Amino acid sequence: MAGGKMKKDKQKGPRAPSNHYQGGVTFHKSKGQHILKNPLLVDAIVQKAGIIPTDTILEIGPGTGNLTKKLLEAGKMVIAVELDPRMVLELQRRFQGTRFSSRLKVIQGDVLKTDLPYFDICVANIPYQISSPLTFKLLFHQPAFRCAIIMFQREFAMRLVAQPGDNLYCRLSVNTQFYARVSHLLKVGKNNFRPPPKVDSSVVRIEPRKPRPEVNHKEWDGFIRICFIRKNKTLGSIFKQKNVLSLLEKNYKTLQALQGSQNVSLSGNDDMEIARLGNESMEMDDGMDDDMDMECDEAEGEGEVSEFKNKVISVLKEGKFEEQRASKLSQESFLTLLSMFNKAGIHFS
C-alpha cells in the first residue's frame, strides 16, 4: 500500500509544470491567465507602442510583471489593473525596493467596473472573454488617450480590422472603426504563452479618432444593429421586415408627439423600443451576432402598403441603398444613409 502510494506520487512529479508556475504563482486557464514568456515579443510590443519618457501607461492584466518591467523602463509611470489578488501581491513583491516602486501604481479590481484614471497609452494582454466590452470602454474613455496596444484572440482581432466585403466584416468592425483607427501589428502563436491558449493571438493598435464623431452613439448603434440583422441581405428586405418597421414607426410617432408638445429630445435619454432588437448594448458586441434570428415577414401584403413603410422605402430608393448590403457598405455610406433617415424624421434611439 505505502509503496504503491509513493510510486503514484513519483508519477505525478514530472507533470508538475502543467500547473504553470512563475514566481510561485499558479496560472488558471479558466480565468484567461496566459502570461507572455517570449522576451522578444514583449520587447516588440513595447516598441510598437511608441512610448515616450513622459507617458503614463495603463496596463490591464499585468500578471507577474514581465511586460510591466519593460513599460516602467520606457515610460514615466505604469498604472496596472489586476483582478487576481495573488498576482497583485506578486507584482508588488517583484518591484518593492527597486527604482520602479514609486512609479508603479497597482489597482486591484475588475477593469470593466473600475473608473480608469488618466493615461496616455494602454498596453494589455487581456483575458479574451472581456475583449469586446473592454474595447468599447476604452473608446469612450475621457479624456481620450493616444493609442492602445492590445493582445486579442486572432479572430476577434481580424473582425476589428475587417474591411467592407471581407468575410469577417461585421457590426463590431463598423462600430470600432467609426470611433478609432485600427491596425493589425503582430500575429502571435499560442506557444508564446504560459500556459498556451487554444488559439493564436494578434496584437492590434487602436487610436481613438480626434475629434470624436459628432453622432449620438445610441442612434448610430441602433441603426447599425438593424443593418446587420442579415448582413448579406439587401437593406430593402431588412427594412421591410414587419418588426423593424413596427419599432421604427413607434419611434417616429413618439418623436412626432414630442415635437408637437415642444419637448423633443434626441439626446438618447428616452428609451425607445428599438432596444428590443438586441439583448446587448454596443459595448458588448463581439461581432458574432450577425444574421441574428428575426422574423422576415414583410409588414403588409402587396395591396396594403402603409404610409410609414413607403416613407422608409423612399429613403432607401432616394439614396440608391435599397439593393445594397451591409456587408459591403463603407463608414461614409452608413453615415449618409443614417443622415437621410434622420432628415425624414426616422430615428433609431
Q: What CATH number should be reported for the domain holding residue 236?
A: 1.10.8.480
- Is 200 found in the same domain as 122? yes
- Contact between 179 and 206 under an 8 Å Cβ cutoff? The reply is no
What CA–CA distance (Å, rounded) separates 141 from 45?
Answer: 22
- Is 239 found in the same domain as 165? no
As for how many domains the chain has, the answer is 2
Show which of 208, 228, 251 is a domain's final residue: 208
- Is 235 found in the same domain as 123? no
Q: How many angstroms separate the first and last alpha carbons of the chain?
A: 71
Residue 33 in any domain: the answer is: yes
Provide φ and ψ at 278, rounded to 5°.
-150, 155
Provide φ and ψ at 241, rounded to 5°.
-65, 140
Cell output for 278: 438586441
Of the candidates 90, 69, 82, 81, the residue with the CA atom closest to the CA atom of residue 25:
90
- Is 194 found in the same domain as 46? yes
**Residue 198 sits in which domain range?**
29-208
- Is 224 found in the same domain as 200? no
What CA–CA distance (Å, rounded) separates 74 from 58?
Answer: 13
- E-strand spans in 62-219? 77-82, 104-108, 121-125, 147-153, 180-188, 193-194, 201-208
Residue 283 in any domain: the answer is: no
Binding-site residues, in ranges, read 34, 36, 61, 82, 110, 125
Residue 245 in any domain: the answer is: yes
- Is 119 found in the same domain as 58? yes
Cell output for 121: 497609452
What integer pLDDT is reported at residue 281 of this predicted model? 41
- Is 226 found in the same domain as 131? no
Residue 125 in any domain: the answer is: yes
- Is 254 found in the same domain as 112? no
Residue 52 in any domain: the answer is: yes
What integer pLDDT is reported at residue 305 of this predicted model? 52
Binding-site residues for S-adenosyl-L-methionine, in ranges, read 34, 36, 61, 82, 110, 125
Q: Is the bond preceding residue 211 a cis peptide, omega within 30 degrees?
A: yes
- Is 338 found in the same domain as 244? yes
Q: Each residue's pLDDT tens digit in the chain (349 positions)?
A: 444 444 444 444 444 444 444 455 565 454 445 677 788 999 999 999 999 999 999 999 998 898 999 999 999 999 999 999 999 999 999 999 999 999 999 999 999 999 999 999 999 988 889 999 999 999 999 999 999 999 999 999 999 999 999 999 999 999 999 999 999 999 999 888 878 888 899 999 999 999 989 899 999 999 999 999 999 999 999 999 999 999 999 989 988 888 776 554 444 444 444 334 433 344 444 444 454 444 445 444 443 458 999 999 999 999 999 999 999 999 999 999 999 999 999 999 8
Residue 292 in any domain: the answer is: no
Specify the 3-state DSSP secondary structure of 82: strand
